[in-house]
Amino acid sequence: MTIFQKQINDDLVEYIIDNGWMSISVLNYGAVITRIKVPDKNGDKFNCVLNYADYSNYYENPLFLGAVIGPVAGRIAAGTFELDGTSYQLEKNEGDNHLHGGFSGYHKQFYQVETVTNEQEDHLILYLTNHQTKGYPGKIDFSVTYSLDCNNSFKILYQAKADAKTIFNPTNHTYFNLNPRTESVKNHSLKINAEKVQEIKQGTLPTGHLLNLTVEGNQRLQLQGGRLEETFNDEHEQLTLGSQGIDLAYLINTDSPEGAILENEETGIMIKLTTSEESIVVYTGNKLPNQIFLAENGWLSKHSGVTLETQNLPDAIHQADPKIILEPNKTYSSKTVFEFLNTNK
């Protein structure tokens, strides 16, 4: 177990956590995961997340590749919300809506970094101190810890404490692609342990309702280990609203420890996900622009990645019983674990 450090330019630093079998690369800007290198069934290592070949693209990061998203992930309708009778106006960075923390969200911040290494597990701790995002009430001490152990479990731990009542719902926006080249993830299989999904309307905004996936018709939205290309060709309204693909929050069943399993049989790579969060937002890169951004393994294009964003349900502040309110001086803590496996290991 070890952590390397690479100076990209005057202010950008990349940290690499390596356990010998796999490695994770992270920037001090946006807490961005730039690479996760794992061996395929033949033992050949490659990067299985989307990135920019040109590091300068991370300063704007229009696709949110690999970044920590906050203070609140997803869309907030009209960019407004109310707390205790006071209305707050957030930055509108997607039409009339606020998306992923706005123009000054956590993906646009430089983090202080601390490293902790030992024989069993290495930790990379990135933190913001006394930080206030434009429009949000309260200043927040926030940290995200990336850990990799000798059993190939990659853990993300979010912790925060605010000095005033605010809203808080972070996630990580890494796109996975378990192909050695950046091509469609249509050959990936995905299983989500869920019986309900958040319904969306035009603009990919939640309606406030949950759809039962056991009901006829909605069964087509279930992700039970089938290939993703099946959803790309489906005309279900919830998929066409997502620009011909998945852009939905699945409410995880609490009776099973596993939240999701992503697998590519062709390379033999599998990821098992567990989380303390209530939902996983699955987004299959439906709006990724074709051949505008070059990645390490080829040009980015529609459906060239899939996210597994663990969080509370999107736009929760406008729903009944919102769970994303952070009380002053109360500690927020959330953990997600990605276990990487090779089916021929």
For residue 245, what are its two tokens? Answer: 């693909």
Residue 223, Ramachandran bin (φ over 0: left; ψ between -120 and 50: alpha; else beta): beta
Model pLDDT, residue 345: 53
User: 34-56 b/e with 16+ CB inside 10 Å = b?
Assistant: bbbbbbbeeeeebbbbbbbeebe
Model pLDDT, residue 322: 83
CB distance 187 to 273 below 8 Å: no
Model pLDDT, residue 1: 79
Tens digits of residue pLDDT in 10-53: 999 999 999 999 999 999 999 999 999 999 999 999 999 999 99
Question: Cα 101 from chain centroid?
Answer: 13
Model pLDDT, residue 237: 94
Tens digits of residue pLDDT in 150-204: 999 999 999 999 999 999 999 999 999 999 999 999 999 999 999 999 999 998 9
Intervals of the chain under pLDDT 70: 345
Closest to 101 in 3D by CA, of 160, 49, 173, 165? 173
CA distances from residue 226 to 108, 191, 199, 217, 261 in whole angstroms, order as listed: 36, 7, 21, 17, 11
CA distances from residue 231 to 67, 186, 253, 261 in whole angstroms, order as listed: 26, 9, 21, 16
Amino acid occupying residue 36: I
CB distance 108 to 30 below 8 Å: yes
